[in-house]
């Protein structure tokens, strides 16, 4: 059974990046989206990215960022992965995938079985789909990072057409159950690892990584 991949997202300080690396995260997420409390400027993201050892991948997360700004951010930060968390089209993703060495991930708000099946349209345009909770108006304007869980039952025993990961309201307390129920090959957490909105808690980062590493998917 391959090890569960662990992405810790929304990091903004050297201390939390180092803590995530030490705790065993396989991916570090940098959010470049001005509306987010976890937004990081390109130059700061580039500095954090340089702290990572080769075995830990940098994920740049953007939301409907225009092509020119995307190109500038990619050039400065040189991430391994670009996670698109807005309403980016299949065509746009395919263009990026076919013209770069980046891994391209597409976040999809998972409401029901229909959204799960429709996510397959990204099969040739993205390397991985990240299932997140659908964003609600009551959760604020953010398309992600709201700490909302999705209905894990949708993913139980589903035959995925492409690589995938699970996001949405994951915490040190629920990540083992999330892996057990869904068999997620990658778990992605942000707000559940904070002491206050936008401020990561090193203790919670460590506890999350440990719980994810020790979790076993249920045998089906």
Ligand X SMILES: O=C(O)c1ccccc1N[C@@H]1O[C@H](COP(=O)(O)O)[C@@H](O)[C@H]1O
Residues that bind ligand X (CB under 6 A): 9-10, 29, 31, 33, 36, 38, 61, 63, 85, 107, 130, 132, 142-147, 167-170, 188-192
Residue of 169, 46, 128 whose CA lies nearest to 119: 128
HSE at residue 110, side-chain half, CA atoms within 13 A, is: 26
Confirm if 212 and 174 have CB atoms less than 8 A apart: no
Q: Closest separation between CB of residue 107 and ligand X, Å?
A: 6
Tokens found for residue 194: 């904070």
Q: Give whichever of 8 and 125 is closer to ligand X, judged by the CB atom.
A: 8
Q: Give the Cα separation of 189 and 96 in Å (integer).
A: 25
Confirm if 27 and 56 have CB atoms less than 8 A apart: yes
Q: Closest separation between CB of residue 59 and ligand X, Å?
A: 8
Contacts of 137 (CB under 8 A, 6+ apart): none
Q: Give the Cα separation of 7 and 199 in Å (integer).
A: 16
Q: Which helix (H) or strand (E) holds 107?
A: strand 103-109
Q: Closest separation between CB of residue 212 and ligand X, Å?
A: 13
């Amino acid at each position: 059974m391959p090890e569960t991949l662990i992405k810790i997202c929304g990091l903004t300080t050297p201390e939390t990046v180092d803590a995530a690396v030490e705790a065993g995260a396989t991916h570090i997420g940098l959010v470049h989206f001005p509306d987010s409390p976890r937004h990081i400027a390109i130059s700061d993201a580039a500095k954090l990215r340089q702290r990572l050892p080769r075995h830990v991948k940098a994920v740049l997360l953007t939301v409907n960022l225009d092509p020119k700004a995307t190109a500038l951010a990619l050039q400065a930060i040189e991430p391994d992965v670009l996670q698109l968390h807005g309403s980016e089209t299949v065509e746009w993703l395919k263009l990026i995938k076919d013209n770069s060495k980046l891994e391209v991930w597409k976040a999809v708000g998972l409401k029901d079985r229909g959204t799960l099946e429709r996510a397959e349209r990204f099969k040739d345009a993205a390397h991985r789909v990240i299932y997140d909770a659908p964003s609600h108006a009551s959760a604020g304007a953010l398309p992600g990072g709201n700490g909302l869980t999705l209905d894990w039952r949708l993913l139980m025993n589903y035959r995925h057409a492409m690589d995938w990961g699970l996001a949405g309201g994951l915490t040190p307390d629920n990540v083992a159950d999330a892996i057990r129920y869904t068999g997620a090959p990658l778990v992605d957490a942000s707000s559940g690892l904070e002491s206050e909105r936008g401020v990561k808690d090193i203790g919670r980062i460590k506890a999350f990584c440990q719980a994810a590493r020790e979790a076993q998917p249920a045998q089906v």
